[in-house]
Chain A
């Protein structure tokens, strides 16, 4: 398969002035990553590690303190209609109806479109996120999950090249979340959309993502490693857990969230970690797993993954 890098994150660092005014707090640093065209990438990390900050920089809404981002051979200097964002906080305009929120985006994308064309296009995406009938409600009259769906419809409706999603399904019930995940997958399959998504939900990441980026806790967060999803793309919510790789991947992710995310610094000192090429693991593919530290390997005979070095 020919890989075609669409997003290249290069040596990214973001620091904020510290609360007491003296010095800086570095949220994350030395973040390097490449996203291929058509790839679905999930970012997992604990609350406050800088996921939203990273996504904002990808969107062009925030500037990095060091490093940069190249999208389609051009450096990101500001926001673009090619990169749609679903915000963690919905970010709907409360004075506009659900429909008007979406139409505002559609008119921004295609200012030359006629009223009827805009209306039909918006309706298509309203139906897609199952908000039919709630078009004329103001955001204050919608539930949290409905607001999130309007935000998702707004992002999908402008048919961007890259979709940046910040925990888009977190406020949804399991049923709606499931159907929206399926919709997202089918849209991505149909348009070979590149998606960068933040999530807290391990199962969601395993269902949707081709690759899962593990981000350590802040401050000074880094990419701990890249977990490749070793289940086939044809996986579904209903049969995924029967795949032999399901539990190896899942355990690996949980192990990271519970233990390794906080103690990465310790791990770091005893490994040849290269931030430019964070280790890639493919849980389940091999029993000859390599963990970061030899000491841990000795302590834990039943390892669950293989660590290989990403090629430059």
Chain B
């Protein structure tokens, strides 16, 4: 049954994909595609009144994607780098900012989760800082750090830190009393309790926090790179927009989506490793 469900879902996925691309092709294509639509819809779809539109069709975008895939790492100066290089920059920034956030959030989350005093004392700071858009930190970062790359890493760090911190603290604070009691009756030391009992018990919650963080970080890096410019997939999008190359913008959107999915899958894999059934 589950196999047949999977097959039916796959068929439906393919169908939706082709229906979508066909509609897209028709609505931007030259053969009166736009004329057959209602004017509002045509406006929504960005089609021009002239029939053929500036909006590229899926075939054109597909061709462009293929070109990028064939040659992802070329470098012809600051404004013309392969999409692979740009994605590499973005991934590197996210990785560095994310890892820094892990190093900070997990120990601090442990402290907050284990100590009701710290929980209460730090809660107002977390509550106020958490809802601040990471991009609001950007001017401050640029002013103090004066380096655009480090600034965007900082922005990644600051947006990744909150979900991890909150989840770690929550996971640590809600470790079942009875497991801690077992450790206590066995006179297990604090460090061993933290590593052998609390960490595995809170592991799934911590990993969920990390998964949320990496998702946010990947959202934020594009915006951050649009702001600071120079390198990265965000800058690539901005640059192609300035070149009025909508084809490349759409291609970049596809790559951003795929990499985002990949990052999430990696974290999902690690989450699965630490998950336990009660």
Contact = CB atoms under 8 A, between A and B. Distances in A.
Contact of A105 (B181, B186, B274, B278): B186
Given A138-B276, A140-B278, A79 B187 contact: yes
B276 A79 contact: no
A110 to B, nearest CB: 11
Main secondary structure of the interface of B (DSSP, over half): helix
Interface residues of A, number: 25
B10 interface: no
A158 B200 contact: no
Contacts of B158: none
A83 interface: yes
A85 B200 contact: no
A87 interface: yes
Contacts of B182: 85, 87, 91, 93, 105
A78 B179 contact: no
A84 interface: yes
Interface residues of B, number: 19
A61 B200 CA distance: 22
Given A87-B178, A93-B197, A61 B184 contact: yes
A80 interface: yes
Contacts of A83: 185
Contacts of B192: 108
A69 to B, nearest CB: 15
12 contacts: A81-B185, A81-B186, A83-B185, A85-B182, A93-B182, A94-B277, A94-B278, A95-B203, A95-B276, A108-B187, A108-B188, A138-B276
Interface of A: 56, 59-61, 78-81, 83-85, 87, 89, 91, 93-96, 104-105, 108-109, 138, 140, 158
Given A79-B187, A91-B182, A94-B277, 17 more contacts: A60-B184, A61-B181, A78-B184, A79-B181, A79-B186, A81-B186, A81-B187, A83-B185, A84-B185, A91-B179, A93-B182, A93-B201, A95-B274, A108-B187, A138-B276, A140-B276, A140-B277
